[in-house]
Chains A and B, each alone.
Chain A
Amino acid sequence: MEVVLETKNLCKSFGAVMVNDKINLTLHRGEIMAVLGENGSGKTTLINMIGGIYYPDSGSIYYENKRVEIRSPKDADRLGIGVVHQHFKLVSSMDAVENIEIALSDKEYKNKADIRKRITDVAKKYGFTVNPDKKICDMSVSEKQTVEIIKAIIKGAEILILDEPTAVLTPQESSSLFNVIRSMKKDGKSIIIITHKLQEVLDISDNVYIMRKGRYIDTLKTSETDENELACKMVGKTVTLQIARTSYEKKKTVLSVHNISCLSDDKTVGLSDVSFDLKSGEILGIAGISGSGQKELCECIDGIREVTSGKIKYYAEEGNFDITNKKPEWRRKNKTGFGFVPEDRLGMGLIASSDMVDNMVLKSYKDEAGAFLHRKKAADIAKYLIKKLDIATPGIHTPVRMLSGGNVQKVLLGREIEAGRDVLIVSYPVRGLDINSSYMIYNLLDEERKRGTAIIFVGEDLDVLMALSDRIMVMADHRIAGITDARTVTKDYLGSLMTDTKGQVI
């Protein structure tokens, strides 16, 4: 097979950290290559060098056996390398045609009608569905992605690079994307797909290129490998992909949410008419496309977002409380606070520039009387957490933003668990973490369930949700699309609930 793209000894360092150390990658025509690696393994940096966003420190890139200099995304375009980034580069107030119009050079551009025709041609050829005249801001994530891919193809991409394309898609959308990728392969295009999801790698790719800590590890033929081997190579040691689901017997309702609605930050609908019960010793998984109201739900229950209608009741051992719109101040006094691990750890759950000690007292600093801050107990808790959760940090006085993602999450989750509340809300707790940290977090959550804590777990990986949760609640369009038993539900059914927008045309 003909080689279309080759990198030789590509190196890139950010300061003292070698994020790409002598990377040699060979891509053939008509090949689907999966680049697999954990967060921080250097996948995106490699792609950014090929796509012209970063410039390599040393090493070279060959396109069709000719040495090329890629200094900007424009150079990459000209060569026929199209990159679809994780964050789409589209103008949201324009429609698909206009977005492609501004991306074309004068030479390529004829008129709008021509672009519209080319969009429909490309769509027909590879099996996309797209409305060229829809504004980007009215599109779903998957539609936006479609526009990005069509844009790359119209600009003449022979090599298409997709950075974590399925992270934001439902199972159905992912499988239709994979069909498109397969038909592009048939057309002789080469595709690089970056991912850390093992199952996807096995589904779609011909070869797997594995990276770890900025280094090349191995290239495997997809047909000759399996999930365990991939995980081992990716992590560098044997990992057990086991999630425990302990049953808790003495279940009783601790929280009941009645028909609550709220507004989002931009004053649009945040939640509409949400009701459910939460029992002690259960993990209620929340699935859904991100931005479907998960954040608002967590914040309403935690009391930091105002509920416009409905009631939230909390059944504690000391008695029953109506905690609707009760501020954290009130909750602190009445000891009805919950543990809450928000999605944005450093920006919301922690004081990024402060040390562990100051972070330990974030929610409890007012408990002790007087004008002065008492840090002694907090320092003890910090030391205890470092030992218990094996947090890698130079000391309790290192600013938490200097820690790695997994350790930041241990600090946050550790603090929230240590507070010993009846209800624990965790939002995307493993986002950005490596496999080992992720499984450690799952086990911690299972431990908490054993103790009888009621847990709300907002997640994105359906396999994990199905393995860990007792029940799964699917949110779509700021409503509850359905609540199911996690032990019996199928992925396809969850996927169909995720896009259930009740009468709304997608």
Chain B
Amino acid sequence: MENKKEKQRFARIIKRPYISDAHSLIIRVIAFVFSFIVVSILLLCMHFNPFNVFAVMLKGAFGKEFLIRETVKGTIPLVITATGLSLAFRMKFWNIGGEGQILIGGIAATAVSFIFGRSIPQWVLLSLMAAASIIMAGLYGMIPAVFKAKFKTNETLLTLMFNYIATQLIVMLQNTRSWQDAANNFPKVRMLDFYSRLPRVFGVHIGWIIALVMLVLYYFYIQKTKHGYEIKVIGDSMETARYAGINASKVMIRTMFLSAALCGLAGFLQVAGADGTLSESTAGGVGFTAIMVAWMADMKPVRILIMSAFIAILNRGAGNLQTVYLIPSSFANIMIGIILLFMLGCEFFIKYKVSFSFMSGRKSSAINDKGGRYDY
């Protein structure tokens, strides 16, 4: 204890009060580079040339015009779902049920398509499908919010469990005769009639325009409306909301309706645009990936777009890797996992500054507002 030599702690972590956009961008780029280094080492272990692998990945995402279209197609549901989830996240309501809400939207759209067939004009049918998916998914997402408002249940658990209900609902429909193909009785929901498929613009279904419109609407809703203001107050402090006389239950239920409705819309676009059919992979993990997108994008509209595209590119690239190099799909997933881990991990370095004892001569430039300090 009373040793003469003063030992310094190896590293200290200090909260940053402020970080410039350029600085945070540099940190992100460094993290990205590091993730590629780690992935490269793994690839070398498996006797692949990392540069060739990355080239193949890029080709998979952008190599041909139709591949670019595929990448855009993969971006659409991510953008819309992440936007929906961001609405809830801004209120600190942890909606983990995007996956289920997408499926409910898909089911509603499919049901409308099956019921009306070709009996009404196409644009009416498509609008009805969209409306049905929005309303049904919205109501579905409202249930956990109502429970939270009335009985203070945990929304994370409830929204998560509602995913399983939706998935099993699809399995049930797959085994329902009236939803199957008339020609055979595979346990599958039959393809949607071309009459109820979305039109294409520049070769991609019209969903990409809808996604962009939703992002703009999201921006205005959050920034310019009273509703958006109420979400902000609640997200900041429930006590402040109570003080201001904001009916938190009402706002919570309303916002969850919108959040889930957007997820439902993504489901409709998947069914009527991308896939042409309803299956348990209609959501395909988008509901979960979008959580990460929303989080990495800090719930900001432009960043949501960028992060969604980034993940779609990774997915497409990994897909191509499987076909070209016969790398198992699990390895492609590991790669994506590593890259995302680094991208999420670097948020820590954006929020906190780490100073090492061997650099202690340098004065740090961060200010700590709370006086808190974290030691290794």
Contacts and interface: CB of A to CB of B under 8 A. Distances in A.
A14 B373 contact: yes
Interface stretch (B60-68, B131-139, B232-240, B333-341): B232-240
B226 A366 contact: yes
Nearest to A79: B1
Interface in A298-352: 302-304, 327-329, 331-332, 340, 342, 344, 346-352
Nearest to B15: A15
Contact of A351 (B6, B236, B353, B371): B236
Contacts of A462: none
A66 B2 contact: yes
Given A304-B243, A340-B243, A373 B228 contact: yes
A105 to B, nearest CB: 15
A93 B356 CA distance: 41
B240 A15 contact: no
B225 A371 contact: yes
B242 A304 contact: yes
Contacts of A206: none
Contact of A68 (B1, B233, B369): B1
B11 to A, nearest CB: 13
Interface string B351-376: 00100000000011111110101010
Given A69-B3, A402-B17, A373 B229 contact: yes
Contacts of B365: 15-16
Nearest to A68: B2
Interface string A346-369: 111111111000100111011000
Contact of B240 (A340, A350, A361, A371): A350
Contact of A15 (B1, B368, B375): B368
B244 interface: yes
B372 to A, nearest CB: 8
Contacts of B364: 13, 15-16
A14 B371 contact: yes
A428 interface: no
B232 A348 contact: no
A303 B7 CA distance: 57
B373 to A, nearest CB: 7
Most-contacted residue by chain A among B3, B4, B236, B368 (CB, 10 A):
B236
A216 interface: no
Contact of B373 (A54, A328, A346): A54
B133 to A, nearest CB: 24
A388 to B, nearest CB: 23
Contact of B244 (A15, A54, A68, A363): A363
Contacts of A358: 229, 232
A345 B365 CA distance: 28
B367 A14 contact: yes
A350 to B, nearest CB: 7
B229 A45 contact: no
B224 to A, nearest CB: 5
A349 B243 contact: yes
Given A68-B1, A69-B3, A348-B237, A45 B371 contact: yes
A98 interface: no
A302 B243 CA distance: 9
Range class of the B interface residue count: 35 or more
B226 A373 contact: yes
Contacts of B373: 14, 54
Contacts of A353: 232, 236
B23 interface: no
A16 B367 contact: yes
B211 to A, nearest CB: 23
B299 to A, nearest CB: 12
Given A354-B232, A373-B228, A332 B2 contact: no
B208 to A, nearest CB: 27
B9 A371 contact: no
A55 interface: yes
B227 interface: yes
A372 B240 contact: no
A194 interface: no
Contact of B225 (A328, A362, A366, A372): A372
Interface string B185-224: 0000000000000000000000000000000000000001
Nearest to B360: A57
A17 interface: yes
Contacts of B242: 304, 348
Given A17-B368, A328-B245, A332-B245, A351 B224 contact: no
A75 interface: yes
B293 interface: no
Contacts of A348: 237, 239-240, 242-243
B258 interface: no
B80 interface: no
A19 B371 contact: yes
Nearest to B1: A69
Contacts of B1: 68-69, 75, 78
Given A15-B14, A15-B368, A347 B245 contact: no
A16 B366 contact: yes
A451 interface: no
A67 interface: yes
B233 to A, nearest CB: 5
Contacts of A68: 1-2
Nearest to B245: A328
A167 B226 CA distance: 41
A365 B368 contact: no
A415 B7 CA distance: 51
B251 to A, nearest CB: 13
A347 B375 CA distance: 27
A351 B229 CA distance: 10
Interface in B301-358: 353
A363 B245 contact: yes
Interface string B1-43: 1111011010000111100000000000000000000000000
Contacts of B233: 351, 362
Q: Which of B4, B7, B369, B371 has the most CB of A within 10 A?
A: B371
Contacts of A54: 373
A342 B236 contact: no
Given A14-B373, A358-B232, A67 B226 contact: no
A213 to B, nearest CB: 14
Contacts of A362: 233, 240, 243-244
A361 B240 CA distance: 13
Interface string A206-230: 0000000000000000000000000
Interface in A269-303: 302-303
Given A66-B2, A69-B6, A365 B243 contact: no
A15 B373 CA distance: 10
Interface in A1-46: 13-17, 19, 45
A376 to B, nearest CB: 13
Given A14-B367, A16-B364, A348-B240, A69 B2 contact: yes
21 contacts: A15-B14, A15-B15, A15-B17, A15-B365, A15-B366, A16-B364, A19-B371, A66-B2, A69-B1, A69-B7, A303-B245, A329-B245, A331-B245, A340-B243, A344-B239, A348-B240, A349-B240, A354-B236, A373-B224, A373-B226, A402-B17
Q: Which 6 A-B pairs have the closest CB atoms?
A: A328-B245, A14-B368, A15-B366, A15-B367, A348-B239, A15-B368
Given A13-B364, A67-B2, A373-B226, 16 more contacts: A14-B368, A15-B14, A15-B367, A68-B1, A331-B245, A332-B245, A348-B240, A351-B232, A351-B237, A358-B229, A361-B229, A362-B243, A365-B229, A372-B224, A373-B225, A402-B17
